[in-house]
Structure 1
Amino acid sequence: MSPYVSQAILLVDGYNIIGLWPKLREKRDRNELETARRELIEILVNYSAVRDFEARLVFDAQYRETPGAKEIITKNLSVHYTDFGQTADTYIEKSCANLRSSMRYLKRRTIVATSDRAQQLTVVGYGAEWMSADRLAADVECAACRTQRQQKSRKQHSGRFLAHALDAESQQRLAKLRMGLH
């Protein structure tokens, strides 16, 4: 059996998104950059699972004097910290260049989320799709609403009766009691 391949790879320019999403920008501006990063990670955990994307959140080393690192958050999300002196833009561009062949052979989409215009033009040149920070925010919201509707629907259809919440063995015993069989 071949390993599962998600439908798309989503590369996210982390600081670009933080700087353009009002709630995250406010936190960054109050010297709560780590909190803003954690919130963006949490948002992308849910989004990548709902959309079935392999999401790679990229933060450049502008705030860290350490070697690059990769942190696997879930099967759908990993966080990449670039090497000192490397920008998220160059990391994303190299990733798009490397993913170019898998886009063709695996018919797998590569999407880059950033509102950096120069970055947009470069990644589109590599065959990737581009998504603005605003578009990503709207899609995140849409995915969250879809999840809430599905959960609400499951609750309504799971049955109004307490018996539906019981395990199979308990349901059988209850059925026997109703029929007068002990």
Structure 2
Amino acid sequence: MQRREDVLLVDGYNMIGAWSMLARLKDTNLEEARDKLLEMLADYQGFTGMEVIVVFDAHQVPGTGATFKQHRITVVYTKEKETADACIERLALEKRKRSRQIYVATNDLVEQHVAFGQGALRVTARELLTDIQQNRKSIEKALERPPSQVRNELDNNLKMDVRMKLEKMRRGEQ
């Protein structure tokens, strides 16, 4: 069971390569594939309440790396000579607390074993995509309900004497 303080660490390029719709998009526009991934994970974070951190591998790109918020999720581009796996391992250690669970989303078998060793739970790309899709269906189902089923009428939550007083006021019979 996921709790609000739980953390999901995502290997960004690993998910893009594993999810067919993003893999196809990556072939024509990598930036658009990254944005779509971040949008999907932002929806997931909003639904689950988990803290989501997405790590993109920039170990072959010179620079100091970058960390910023996009769609209210944390996006990390690794530093020069740092792999996404190494960054995820470091973040898993930093984020570990007694009352929270760390989940690592990757299909990289070595990374999964390292995550286990640090007490994190692994989530495969397929499992994460399935969970995201199920959450989306739950949201869509909730939004499709007719307004009459969603209403939270005050009348049903009031004691009878209060209801009677309000009804008299409505009629102008104070």
How far the C-alpha of 1:6 sits from its partner, in A, is 2.6
How far the C-alpha of 1:158 sits from its partner, in A, is 4.5
Please state whether the residue corresponding to 2:145 is helix, strand or coil: helix
Aligned to 2:58: 61
Say whether residues 1:114 and 2:112 are aligned partners.
no
How far the C-alpha of 1:123 sits from its partner, in A, is 0.6
Aligned to 2:116: 124
Partners in 2 of 1:47 and 1:125 — Cα distance? 26
> Which amino acid in structure 1 is aligned with residue 55 of structure 2?
V
> Which amino acid in structure 2 is aligned with residue 119 of structure 1?
E
Instruction: State the identity %.
Output: 33
Aligned to 1:18: 16
TM-score normalised by L of structure 1: 0.77
> Which amino acid in structure 1 is aligned with residue 90 of structure 2?
K
Please state whether the residue corresponding to 1:86 is helix, strand or coil: coil
How far the C-alpha of 1:95 sits from its partner, in A, is 1.2
Of stretches 121-130 and 77-86 in structure 1, the one that deviates more from structure 2 is 77-86
Say whether residues 1:36 and 2:40 are aligned partners.
no
Say whether residues 1:137 and 2:122 are aligned partners.
no
Partners in 2 of 1:63 and 1:33 — Cα distance? 16
RMSD between aligned residues: 2.3
Please state whether the residue corresponding to 1:27 is helix, strand or coil: helix
Aligned to 1:155: 147
Partners in 2 of 1:35 and 1:74 — Cα distance? 14
Say whether residues 1:95 and 2:87 are aligned partners.
no
How far the C-alpha of 1:57 sits from its partner, in A, is 0.5
> Which amino acid in structure 2 is aligned with residue 38 of structure 1?
D
Partners in 1 of 2:130 and 2:148 — Cα distance? 27
Using a 3 Å threshold, how does the CA distance of structure 1 residues 36 and 74 change in structure 2: closer, same or farther?
A: closer
CA-to-partner distance for each residue in 1:69-92, whole Å, 9 max, x for gaps? 1111244x1111111221110000
Structure 2: where are the runs of 5+ without partners?
152-166
